[in-house]
């Protein structure tokens, strides 16, 4: 009788353990979005941007269950995505196993947007936008108010092949993040050009080399134009990127 009882107990424990393991594989719907962070600078205003992903990679460590890793196919581009200040725009939907995550890290590799005009509504961008889209995988568009009051278009161009790495936080803080099949979630990739330019004095922008399009001056900050400013801005942009999941 004792033998029968012990076998029954062992079988129950094994079944319970199996059920727990199965629960760790249940998928949770997560919608990846992108947005421009809120900012306030009297001489700067960012209005919109464009991005094309070559690959998105996810790494998650869970308190229980195996760690999670997946990557999109590098031959299956994601985008191009057009996004505006004040809006969150869908990038892609993912299924991520449920659990309590002690950390989540995303890697976003950029792809060249030279063919964006073939796939995107041309009403979303002007002629300068279109020309600069040929140069990189991320374009942030805004304006700079010069010391004499003149407003100049401002473009930050990040090359294709650049890797953007973002840790995930829940709401306003980092820490454990719980994904449950009872809910759906939005994970927003937040780009902060305002923070990126905090280290650049207005005098430096005033002295920046200007380009011309049919008599209209603008400032391009990229690997090819205003390179010293670009290095500062790219470093701060990469260090301020986050993914907020709610």
Name which of 241, 243, 140 is nearest 191 in CA terms.
Answer: 241
- In the prediction, which pLDDT does 185 show? 96
CA 151/CA 49 separation, integer angstroms: 18
Band (pLDDT 50/70/90 cuts) for residue 5 is very low
CA angle 175, 181, 187 (to 5 degrees): 50
pLDDT at 184 over 80: yes
Asked if residue 129 lies in contact with residue 117, where contact means CB atoms within 8 angstroms, the answer is no
**Which sequence spans correspond to the domains of the chain?**
26-245
Residue pLDDT, tens place only, 131-144: 676 668 999 999 99
Band (pLDDT 50/70/90 cuts) for residue 4 is very low
CA 44/CA 142 separation, integer angstroms: 7
- What is this structure's pTM? 0.85
Q: Where are the beta strands (DSSP E) in 63-199?
A: 68-71, 78-84, 89-97, 99-110, 138-145, 151-158, 163-170, 177-179, 185-191
Provide mean pLDDT across the span 186-190.
Answer: 97
Cα atoms found within 13 Å of the Cα of residue 145, Cβ hemisphere only: 7
Strand (E) or helix (H) holding 57: strand 44-62
Band (pLDDT 50/70/90 cuts) for residue 20 is low
Question: What burial letters (b/e) apply to 101-124, b meaning 16+ CB within 10 Å?
Answer: beebebebbbbbbeebeeebeeee
Question: What burial letters (b/e) apply to 134-171, b meaning 16+ CB within 10 Å?
Answer: ebbbbbbbbbbbbeeeeebbbbbbbbbebebebebbbe
């Amino acid at each position: 009788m004792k033998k029968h009882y012990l076998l029954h107990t062992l079988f129950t424990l094994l079944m319970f353990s199996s059920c727990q393991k199965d629960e760790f594989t249940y998928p949770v719907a997560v919608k990846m979005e992108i947005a421009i962070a809120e900012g306030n600078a009297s001489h700067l205003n960012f209005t919109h941007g464009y991005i094309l992903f070559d690959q998105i990679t996810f790494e998650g460590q869970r308190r229980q269950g195996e760690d999670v890793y997946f990557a999109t196919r590098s031959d299956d581009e994601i985008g191009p995505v057009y996004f505006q200040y004040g809006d969150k725009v869908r990038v892609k939907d993912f299924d991520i196993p449920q659990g309590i995550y002690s950390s989540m890290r995303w890697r976003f590799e950029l792809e060249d947007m030279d063919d964006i005009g073939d796939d995107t509504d041309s009403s979303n961008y002007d002629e300068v936008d279109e020309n600069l889209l040929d140069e990189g995988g991320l374009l942030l568009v805004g304006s700079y108010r010069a010391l004499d009051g003149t407003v100049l278009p401002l473009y930050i161009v990040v090359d294709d092949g650049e890797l953007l790495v973002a840790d995930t936080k829940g709401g306003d803080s980092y820490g454990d993040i719980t994904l449950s099949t009872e809910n759906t979630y939005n994970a927003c990739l937040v780009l902060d050009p305002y923070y990126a330019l905090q280290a650049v004095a207005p005098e430096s922008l005033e002295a920046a080399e200007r380009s011309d399009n049919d008599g209209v001056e603008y400032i391009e900050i990229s690997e090819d134009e205003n390179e010293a400013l670009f290095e500062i801005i790219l470093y701060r942009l990469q260090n301020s990127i986050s993914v907020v999941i709610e």
